[in-house]
Amino acid sequence: MLAAMSTETYTPAPQVRWDEVRERLHEHGLRWTPQRRLLVDVLAGTDGHITGAELVERCREQDPEVTPSTVYRTLDVLEDIGLIRHAHGLDGREEFHVRPGREHGHMHCSVCHRAWEISGDDVAELVDDFERTRGFRMDLGHLSVIGICHDCQEGSGS
């Protein structure tokens, strides 16, 4: 899992390059199949967050034989080897993204459904407090804060 989440000491796992995926899959006893290659190609061409269902759809646009189970199993393996991370959106669904250089969480507005990234610096005090007072190391990549953004508060008079 993650190293200590103190924003001063956290170092992300070494990133896996797209051209190393085949070798890394073999190290895990998995084959480099056309479906896995397709998923890796789709991920490599994706910016930002994407759901598993969207990945299945994009893969099926190129190969209608791709099964959801293959996509989701491969996503699990790609996360295990450090290529992608998943987080949870406003509705609780998993969203995937290429592993960022720095861990980040997310804020979601429950009114307009916009989302923003939360950096380690944004929550450094909270992260440090949890570790100091509770001995709890946060996985910032799984931090999702739901609330109402400034624009929506202004619009509703809250």
The answer to whether position 9 is within a domain reads: no
Decide which of 63, 79, 98 is a domain's last residue: 98
CB 148 within 8 A of CB 111: yes
The answer to whether position 110 is within a domain reads: yes
The answer to whether position 116 is within a domain reads: yes
Same domain, 85 and 42: yes
Decide which of 73, 98, 123 is a domain's last residue: 98
Radius of gyration for the alpha carbons in the chain, expressed in angstroms and rounded = 18
Q: Which of 15, 80, 87, 74 is nearest to 39 (CA)?
A: 74
pLDDT truncated to tens, each residue of the chain (158 aa)? 223 333 333 334 445 577 788 888 888 888 888 888 899 888 888 877 788 999 999 999 999 999 999 999 889 888 887 788 887 777 777 888 765 556 778 888 989 988 888 888 888 888 889 899 999 988 777 788 889 999 999 986 55
Decide which of 74, 98, 122 is a domain's last residue: 98
Same domain, 113 and 73: no
For residue 43, the model assigns a pLDDT of 87
For residue 15, the model assigns a pLDDT of 52
* Sequence-distant (≥ 6) Cβ neighbours of residue 16 within 8 angstroms: 24, 81, 82, 83, 99
For residue 67, the model assigns a pLDDT of 93
The answer to whether position 5 is within a domain reads: no
Same domain, 141 and 117: yes
The answer to whether position 69 is within a domain reads: yes
The answer to whether position 3 is within a domain reads: no
Q: How many domains does the chain have?
A: 2
Residue 5 CB-density burial (10 A; 0-12 exposed, 13-18 middle, 19+ buried): buried
Domain holding 114, by residue range, is: 104-156
Q: Which of 55, 26, 48 is nearest to 117 (CA)?
A: 48
| CATH number, position 150 | 3.30.1490.190
For residue 35, the model assigns a pLDDT of 87
For residue 31, the model assigns a pLDDT of 86
Same domain, 58 and 75: yes
| CATH number, position 24 | 1.10.10.10
